[in-house]
Structure 1
């Protein structure tokens, strides 16, 4: 079942090697653009957690599209290797299917935050 624009979501989490954040950010951006252009990926956001890891939220039209994107393609692997070279620790991806979607529209948001 697809709710709104996010038919399937994957959460990724990494702890980076010391001093490797610039390398990771560059590789993450390149891989994300590639997956959006060639593998059907949707929106993606990268966050820093308050305990020092990075987490990414990636939207896909459906799980099947994400699974096909996981099949090793040479270009994808080179980009993934560049990203993983900066990583000290990674967690298994968390796969999620939305049950409810309540996006915030411009009239409801102030400074990027939901009003009370």
Structure 2
């Protein structure tokens, strides 16, 4: 789904983390709120499947990127 959203809607991709307690935390990055809104419903069946796989969710949190200094190896 992330690859489809990236190619069709211009998202910046997503990340999935595992917290110390085993909880998985996922988030997506977008160039702006309007790009995200335009992409709603791009693949309703895939979106439905993705939402069914979520055990618990929280309200959306919208953040403005202030600085980005990744030092991860590429590859």
- Answer whether TM exceeds 0.5 for this pair: yes
Larger CA Rg, structure 1 vs 2: 1
Consecutive aligned runs of 4 or more in structure 1 exceeding 6 Å deviation: none
Q: Give 1 or 2: higher strand fraction.
A: 1
Higher relative contact order by CA 8 Å / sep ≥ 6: 1 or 2?
Answer: 1
Output the CA distance in 2 between the equivalents of 1:69 and 1:55: 21
Number of equivalenced pairs: 73
Q: Which runs of 5+ in 2 are unaligned?
A: none
**Do 2:3 and 2:13's aligned partners in 1 also have CA atoms closer than 8 Å?**
no
| TM-score, length-scaled by structure 1 | 0.53
CA RMSD of aligned residues (A): 1.9
- Normalised by the size of structure 2, how large is the TM-score? 0.75
Q: How far has the Cα of 1:79 moved from its partner?
A: 0.8
